[in-house]
A and B are shown apart, each in its own frame.
Chain A
Amino acid sequence: MNHHSGINQTFSFNRWTKLLLFHWMVNRKRYLLALPAMAGLLLVWESFILAMNTFQPLDKGFQGMTYYAGLYAVGCLYASMTFAESGTKAQGIAWLATPASALEKLLCGLLYSAIAFFVVYNLVFYLVDIPMVRIANGLIENGRRTWPGGPRIDSVQIFNVGKGGLNDHSEGWDHLFVLFYFALQSAFALGSIYFDRYAFVKTGVAVMIALGCFMILQQRIIDPTLPHGWHRQNFYDWIVDWDTLRARGVRLSPTLGAVLGAMLIYGIPIVCWTATYFRIKEKEV
């Protein structure tokens, strides 16, 4: 019956750029208003800490926690609005009727909510954080602050998300926070098309339930399959109980471990984005 198919019906760069422009035109007010709101909140929060912490305000760990708290909260909130237009009959028809493919609509939503948001969030964060750290260092320098009975307080450094490092021991691992953010963000983007109303709250509940099920799976299904005295250390390492026997570890082959790790770290966004694509295709209004 249908003779009209081909790659052009799945993706056309020309059509996609039109969709990006259309999305920007419709949503730019919302996006542009969010910038000063984010910057303002960050400024108030860091100013409050500057005023309250009389020893070492805005240390790297604190900046990092602020960065991740903001990224997770605002990022997931924005992600839950990615495909919000599909939730009402009037807006949903207008969105689905726009002559673009499901893939183009998905990529348009993800470009704004996942990539553009991440870039803009970083810009806003450092635009506020860098001057605030300078002020903090000025206070430390001028106040000649020392820890009670201890050495002089060092100046604080700017938190570098590229290097991670909430503290000196965690460098090299913090990128997992960023990767987990993208996993969570992708779940909220899926929720925005899955739930017609209250997508943020409903997705939050769904994520909690999924995490709960994952923990139950580990504790009730995987752990009982281990020999007596053995415990799970992570997904691919097991050790004998430290209290009763000398520690012995068993681990999967490095390749298998790497594959499992990569699936957990990178797989969730891909699974969620794929599910979102099919949800757009099967969306009815």
Chain B
Amino acid sequence: MVTIRDLHFAYRRRMVFSGLSLDLTPGHIYGLLGRNGTGKSTLLRSIGGFLFPRQGDIDVLGYTPGKRQPDFLQRIFLLPEELFLPPLPVRRWVRVQAAFYPRFSQEQFNKLAAGFSLPLDGRLDEMSYGQQKKVLICFALATNADLLLMDEPTNGLDIVSKSQFRKVMAGAVDANNCIVISTHQVKDLENLIDRVTIIDEGRILFDQTIDAISRTLLFRLSYDPKEAAAAIYSESSFRGNALILPNSTGEENAPDLEMLYKAVMLRGEQLNLLFK
């Protein structure tokens, strides 16, 4: 669905990507993690065709994104971190904007909006940032786009809405589409994403499915100092030591994404060796 080869990108003199390659396949929700300024948003905008590679190739659904052909734009949707919604009543904006998306479902939009308790009789410019974001999330999902790119989608959402977001996103992916969520709030993506991609300084540090992570790594709390010494990564807490250990017994467990992220940043090479 998305093939990136040898991507080079720079803002004036600041190099963001130098030789990044990545494949995204349908049927997955990808979590794109990384520190601020490491190129998560740049990657999403490059995939969406809003930034052009200085070198290398990007292929999305068989299109070159930078050409921004109408057929391509109908099949993807980018939810940016900084929103712009015109000063229009919600229903009118949805009507005129939806005309561009042949697969848009009004029924689906109404259902999603009801799930988020969105007031559809109001005006977009009178809504809070969080409400505007929810309108865009509902619209993005209702377009039934093949590729959904979401940049920090949970920023500005209240606790209930975050939970609703996870619920609707989990039901949004099927065998034909793909969702990429970029965030630094990794806790918001737990139990939602099925593949973790961590980028730093323009390169992929870690790229594994949640299944592979839980098969290979063991996330557990322990008071045993010997176990802590053998851990790939450990954090002390009131509840004992939170550890990441090699999963040599195949024990089932749920990865703690925040710990995984920190472990990748500090012990990336050691972790990646376990997956080979």
From A95-103, A106-114, A191-199, A226-234, give the one contacting chain B: A95-103
Q: Which of A22-30, A32-40, A42-50, A70-78 contacts B (4 or more CB under 8 A)?
A: A22-30
CB within 8 Å of A: which B33-92 residues: 45, 48-52, 57, 59, 62-64, 67-74, 77-78, 80, 82-88, 92
Residue of A4, A89, A94, A282 near B71 (CB, 8 A) is A4
Q: A12-B70, A100-B70 are in contact. Are A18 and B100 (CB under 8 A)?
A: yes
Indicate if the CB atoms of B82 and A4 lie closer than 8 Å: no
Pairwise interchain contact A9-B51, C-beta atoms closer than 8 A: no
Q: Which chain B residues lie closer than 8 Å to A102 at the CB level?
A: 68
Task: Tell yes or no: A225 within 8 A of B by CB.
Answer: no
Report the Cα distance A99→B82, complex, angstroms: 20
- Judged by a CB distance under 8 angstroms, whether B106 is at the interface is no
Residues of A with C-beta under 8 A to B50:
92-93, 96-97, 284-285
Contact A94 B64 (CB under 8 A): no
Task: Kindly provide the distance from the CB of A66 to the nearest chain B CB, expressed in whole angstroms.
Answer: 33
User: Which positions 255-285 of chain A face chain B at CB distance < 8 Å?
Assistant: 281-282, 284-285
Contact of A93 among B74, B78, B93 (CB under 8 A): B78
Contact of A94 (CB < 8 Å), options: B57, B72, B84: B84
Contact A101 B97 (CB under 8 A): no
Chain A residue with Cβ nearest B89: A25
Q: Which residues of A contact B100 (CB under 8 A)?
A: 15, 18, 22, 98-100
A29 in contact with B87 (CB, 8 Å): yes
The interface residues of chain A lying within 8 Å CB-to-CB of B48 are 93, 97
| Cβ < 8 Å to B, chain A residues 1-33 | 1-5, 8-9, 12, 15, 18, 21-22, 25-26, 29
Quote the shortest CB–CB distance from B144 to chain A (angstroms). 13
- Do B96 and A21 have beta carbons less than 8 Å apart? yes
Contacts of B84 in A (CB 8 A): 88, 90-91, 93-94
Which residues in B have their C-beta under 8 angstroms from that of A96?
Answer: 49-50, 68
Name the one of B52, B80, B85 contacting A284, with C-beta atoms under 8 angstroms: B52
Nearest A residue to B59 by beta-carbon distance?
Answer: A1
Flag if B80 contacts A89 (CB, 8 Å): yes
A115, B59: Cα distance in complex, Å: 39
B206 interface hit (Cβ, 8 Å) = no
A94–B83 alpha-carbon span in the complex (Å): 8
> Residue of B at shortest CB range from A104?
B70
Contact of B86 among A3, A15, A26, A89 (CB under 8 A): A26
Q: Which A residues are CB-close (under 8 A) to B73?
A: 97-100
On whether the beta carbons of A89 and B72 are closer than 8 Å, the reply is no
Chain A: number of interface residues, binned into ranges: 20 to 34
Report Cα–Cα, A94/B139, bound state, in Å: 13
* Chain A residues with CB under 8 A of B159: none
A12–B71 CA distance with the chains assembled, in angstroms: 11
> Nearest CB to that of A28 among chain B residues?
B88
Cα of A4 to Cα of B72 in the assembled complex, Å: 9
Q: How far is the CA of A2 from the CA of B52 in the complex (A)?
A: 16
Q: How far is the CA of A284 from the CA of B66 in the complex (A)?
A: 9
Contacting pair B45 A285 (CB below 8 A)? yes
* A-chain residues with CB within 8 Å of residue B93 when the two chains form the complex: 25
A1 adjacent to B86 (CB under 8 Å): no
B99 located at the interface, meaning its Cβ lies under 8 Å from any Cβ of chain A in the complex: yes
Contacts A22-B97, A25-B86 given; does A93 touch B92 at CB 8 Å:
no
Q: Among B45, B59, B86, which residue has the most Cβ atoms of chain A within 10 A?
A: B86
Q: Contact partner of A4 among B51, B69, B78, B99, CB < 8 A?
A: B69
Closest approach, in angstroms, between the C-beta of A23 and any C-beta of chain B? 10
Contact among A26, A93, A104 with B80 in the assembled complex (CB-CB below 8 Å): A93
* Contacting residues, chain A, for B77 (C-beta < 8 A): 97
Contact B88 A9 (CB under 8 A): no
* Whole-angstrom distance between the Cβ of A19 and the nearest chain B Cβ: 8
Chosen A-B contacts, 16 in total, with CB atoms closer than 8 Å, are A4-B63, A4-B69, A4-B72, A8-B70, A9-B71, A15-B70, A15-B100, A18-B96, A22-B96, A25-B96, A26-B86, A93-B80, A97-B48, A97-B78, A99-B74, A101-B70
The 8 A-B residue pairs with the shortest CB-CB distance in the complex, in nearest-first order: A99-B73, A90-B84, A90-B82, A26-B86, A99-B100, A91-B84, A99-B74, A9-B69
Please name 14 further chain A to chain B contacts, defined as beta carbons within 8 Å, in addition to the given A1-B64, A4-B62, A4-B71, sorted by A numbering.
A2-B63, A5-B69, A8-B70, A9-B70, A18-B96, A18-B100, A22-B97, A26-B88, A90-B80, A90-B83, A93-B80, A97-B50, A99-B74, A285-B50
Binding site for A on B (CB under 8 A): 45, 48-52, 57, 59, 62-64, 67-74, 77-78, 80, 82-88, 92-93, 96-97, 99-101
